Amino acid sequence: MSSYFTDLAQQYIDGEWRPGTGSWDIIDFNPYDGEKLASITIATVDEVDEAYQAAARAQKQWADTNPYARREVFEKALGLINEREQEITDVIIAELGGTRVKAGFELHLAKEFLREAIHLSLRPEGRIIPSPIDGKENRVYRVPVGVVGVISPFNFPFLLSIKSVAPALALGNGIVLKPHQNTPITGGTLVAKIFEDAGLPKGLLNVVVTDIAEIGDAFIEHPVPKVISFTGSDKVGRHVATVTASHFKRSVLELGGNSAIVVLDDADIDYAVDAAVFSRYVHQGQVCMAANRVIVDRSIADEFTEKFVAKVKGLKVGDPRDPETVIGPVINSSQADALASTVEQAIAEGATALVRGETTDNLVSPSVLTDIPAGSALLHQEVFGPVAFLIPVDGEEEAVRVVNDTPYGLSGAVHTANIERGVNFAKRIDTGMFHVNDGTVHDEPIVPFGGEKSSGVGRLNGETMLDAFTTLKWISVQHGRSRFPF
Active-site annotation, residues: 254, 288
Angle at 117 between CA 433 and CA 79, to 5 degrees: 120
Q: Using CA atoms, how far apart are residues 198 and 76, in angstroms rounded to an integer?
A: 5
**What's the distance, CA 181 to chain centroid?**
15
Closest CA to 171 of 448, 459, 458, 471: 471
Q: Would you list the DSSP string of 385-418?
A: SSEEEEEEESSHHHHHHHHH-SSEES-EEEE-S-
Pairing of strands 147-151, 174-178: parallel
The Cα 379–Cα 292 span in angstroms is 8
Does residue 311 contact residue 277 with C-beta atoms inside 8 Å?
A: yes
Query: Do 251 and 225 form a contact (C-beta atoms < 8 A)?
Result: no
The Cα 119–Cα 256 span in angstroms is: 29
Residue type, 47: E
Q: What per-residue string of b and e applies to 23-57 under the rule 16 or more CB within 10 Å gives b?
A: eeebebbbbbeeeebbebbbbbeebbbbbbbbbbe
- Residue 475: how many other CB atoms lie within 10 Å: 10
Q: Cβ distance 228 to 249 under 8 Å?
A: yes
